[in-house]
Amino acid sequence: MPSFDITCEIDHHEVSNAVDQANREVGTRFDFKGADAEYALKDNQITMKAEVDFQLNQMIDILRNKLTKRGIDVAHIKLADPVIQHKKAEQVITMQEGIAQDIAKKIVKFIKDKKLKVQSSIQGEQIRVTGKKRDDLQEVIAQLDQENFGLPLQFGNFRD
């Protein structure tokens, strides 16, 4: 029986490369000369440090640009509120990966509401969709592409 998986994954190597490129750009830009501004990547979190809030906003734009050039969807980015103290501003960016349980339930409900002849089941941080016909599965993919769940979804592991 044909099936496919719905996932939300990030290429960590490309994220690392994008952060390195953004650090280089911040180091060479004129408006950041003499400023102690940098990005630090640890696991799925990117910490931005600068002197003022305005520089953090510029750094976010630089990072988004670098991530986009590397083929990473900026919908993975979740910004925390900036922490501003005297001459330091810091902001944490979390790279969302995996489908949370509540969003997975919304996706499964969305698929069931479409009344297509497919079954969907939550398997950890991914969703498996199975059906008798390949056309039904392709219809599910088309419907999910049009809907916004707050996460960039990837469809893979398609089996006939």
State the pLDDT at residue 16.
94
How many angstroms separate the Cα of 90 from the Cα of each of 39, 46, 109, 139, 153?
10, 11, 39, 44, 29
96-123: per-residue pLDDT in tens? 898 889 999 999 999 888 888 899 999 8
**1: confidence class by pLDDT, cuts 50, 70, 90:** confident
Rounded to two decimals, the pTM is 0.83
For residue 19, pLDDT beyond 90: yes
Provide the CB-side half-sphere exposure for 49 (13 A, CA). Answer: 10
Residues 6+ apart with CB under 8 A from 74: 64, 67, 68
CA distance linking residue 123 with residue 6, whole number of Å: 10
For residue 86, pLDDT beyond 90: no
For residue 24, pLDDT beyond 90: yes
135-146: per-residue pLDDT in tens? 888 889 998 988
For residue 67, pLDDT beyond 90: yes
Identify whether the C-beta of residue 129 lies closer than 8 Å to the C-beta of residue 120. Answer: yes
For residue 64, pLDDT beyond 90: yes
46-63: per-residue pLDDT in tens? 999 999 888 999 999 999
Domains parsed from the chain with CATH numbers: 3-8+99-159 (3.30.70.860), 12-95 (3.30.70.990)
State the pLDDT at residue 115.
86
